[in-house]
Structure 1
Amino acid sequence: MNEHTAEPASSGQESSRSRRSLLAAGAIGAAGLAAVPLTARTAAANTQNPPAPATGRANPDGRFAGKVVLITGATSGIGQATAYEIAREGARVVFCGRRAELGRRHEREIRGFGGDALYVRADVTRESDVRALVEACVRRHGRIDIAFNNAGIESPRSAPLHEQTLGDFEQVWRTNTAGTFLSMKYEIPHMLRRERGVIINTASISAEVGFATIAPYNASKHGVASLTKVAALEYAARNIRVNALAPGAVDTPMLRRAAEAFGMTYEQIAQDYPIRRIVQPQEMARVVMFLASDDATAVLGTDIDASGGYLTG
């Protein structure tokens, strides 16, 4: 993933605009910002405290016992949290990411608490990698029950649209939008053979609203939301449900990079959210698990606001 290169804003108007860009840019990605005071991370002024990560041994009879789950972009952030949480609930997880050392470490840790996990190095911008990832999952488990297409990057820099380059745009688009397209392209045929399956794509609050200075990211996430709606319509009658997740500011490496670039604390960022705190990756994982479960059989084609209320007003 690329670092943000924008300088902190100087005027009040620019600061507000930069903050809104930061909120969108931090929507994906799992570690916290060490320099931020603990109170800024855990404050919950008007909502419940965020849940702690699940611990203990995996439950072979859990909510997702025996389900085969494919996750892209799971070496950090929301993807990593989801891999751990759903594996503890009995799922058999196959996940990818570009950072092999991290991927192998997460695979060992999931297996260490009794989970079933396989890491496959893959870059979702490469069609051959996506095809190989899906084939590895099917070769190992015979099917795909649930796919969480989460791989994504932020805009390489914050700048007005006319200062963005085609390279900036293509870089983000290829990962966030084309990567989601390719993932569904190769996942769906295996689901069609069994006439069942669930797909969740990671979109963003910037799939629903515009944010100045991050046009490549904003456009890419609108694309993810659009692909989600199209796929939901095309495959609903074949018992395949497709939905998207719209995070806001989540405590991930992506948000850390953005906060450092803009010179902001988590406490400052949280003021734009009704819950007045930064959402934790485990909270996103549990929304994904809801959408993947039989509790959500009537939900399809939606981009679920999981931001902590940012889109409510």
Structure 2
Amino acid sequence: MEEKDERTILTRRKTIATAAGLVGAIPVAALANTQFPPQPKTGRADPQGRFAGKVVLVTGATSGIGEATARAFALEGAKVYFCGRRQELGRNVESAVRALGGEATYQRADVREADQIKAFVDNCVSRYGRLDVAFNNAGTVGEVNPFLETALDDWHNVLTTNATGVFLSMKNEIPYMLKQGGGVIINTASVSSYRGFLNIAPYGASKHAILSLTKTAALAFAAKNIRISSIAPGGVDTAMLRYARERQGIRPEQGAMGIPIHRTNTVEEIARAVLFLSSDDATSFAGSNVDVTGGMLD
């Protein structure tokens, strides 16, 4: 059965490669490299990197995916302006990026609060004069409880953080991008935007909402040279995932076996997807939701 599955996967990939004109250019060995987590990029920031001169805003960058993405942008030469609620962690991230020669500035802001997210975006543009890329990543899984034990307060907290936070972020980012003639926005959706998972009902509902927000905004502003897309991470090695697995009695190795590549994704892998969507290599992506689940949506 395992051999049959492998043939099916290779056949599907060969079909896609044929359509793209890539047959003969992809060695079979390369198709298996997803089994091994890539090493994080090391070294100092490159002031002439892919995003040299670009201004990048990131919400929820005091840890996890946001932190890794803020660092990745800075290493590629971007000026990064990021927020999060945990001030000590934010300052630590800021210092770590600057120690590598990158430019990063932390501002404490809570995406649930309209005045705080407005001040955050306004201050970014006031400091750097423009806004080229926004990665709206702030989010929470909330409490992990059976459906009937989900508290209304937790519902409101998760929906406000994850969905309203993205809405408020775009409301403040888009006007600046319209004035300057364009920009890129990436929102963090999830495998939970497509599949239901036990005991995290508010989280799943909020991530479904992000897909709709992304597609609606993309339709409204694509003709204005503003590319808006989202990413759908699956199991990513973050404190949030570890908490959710622990609450449900799922050991790390068990959780990894539920992912077709048989390992938990790294935050650096998600960062690479965000950088790709933000680059000039992704100019036809608008209203897209990019699957970075390690095969969970196949």
Instruction: Give the TM-score normalised by the residue count of structure 1.
Output: 0.83
Partner of 1:14: none
**In the alignment, is residue 140 of structure 1 matched against residue 127 of structure 2?**
yes
Q: Within 5 A, what are the aligned runs for 1:1-313?
A: 47-160=34-147, 162-312=148-298
Asked whether the equivalents of residues 124 and 175 of structure 1 are also in contact (C-alpha less than 8 Å), the reply is yes
TM superposition shift of 1:49: 2.0
Displacement after TM superposition at 1:158 (Å): 1.8
Which moves more between the two structures, 282-291 or 164-173?
A: 164-173
Aligned residue identity for 1:195: G
Letter in 2 for 1:69: V
Asked whether the equivalents of residues 69 and 144 of structure 1 are also in contact (C-alpha less than 8 Å), the reply is yes
The residue type paired with residue 178 of structure 2 is L
In the TM superposition, what whole-angstrom CA distance separates every residue of 1:227-277 from its partner, at most 9, and x where no partner exists?
000000000000000001100110111111122222322211111111000
Give the drift of 1:157.
Answer: 2.6
Structure 2 CA distance, aligned partners of 1:113 and 1:46? 29
Q: Is the 8 A contact 2:35 2:262 kept in 1?
A: no
- How far apart, CA to CA, are the structure 2 residues paired with 1:100 and 1:307? 30
The structure-2 alpha-carbon separation of the partners of 1:121 and 1:62, relative to structure 1 and needing over 3 Å to count, comes to same
Secondary structure of the residue that 1:243 maps to in structure 2? Answer: strand
Rounded to whole Å, the distance in 2 between the matches of 1:115 and 1:189 is 27
Once residues 169 and 257 of structure 2 are traced to their aligned partners in structure 1, the CA distance between those partners, rounded to angstroms, is 35
Where does the alignment leave 5 or more consecutive residues of structure 1 unmatched?
A: 1-43
Greater radius of gyration (CA): 2
Distance 1:70 1:254 in 2: 22
Q: Are the aligned partners of 1:45 and 1:275 in contact in 2 as well (CA < 8 Å)? A: no
CA contact (8 A) 1:46 1:276 kept: no
1:73 Cα deviation from its structure 2 partner: 0.1
Which structure has more helix as a fraction of its residues?
A: 2
Amino acid at match of 1:285: A
Task: Determine the C-alpha separation between the residues in 1 that align with 2:51 and 2:176.
Answer: 19
**Amino acid in the other structure paired with 2:267:** P
The percentage of aligned residue pairs carrying the same residue is 57
Root mean square deviation of aligned Cα: 1.4
| Equivalent residue pairs, number | 268
Q: Which amino acid aligns with 1:94?
A: Y
Deviation at 1:110, TM superposition (A): 0.7
SS in 2 for 1:47: helix
Structure 2: 5+ residue runs without aligned partners? Answer: 1-30
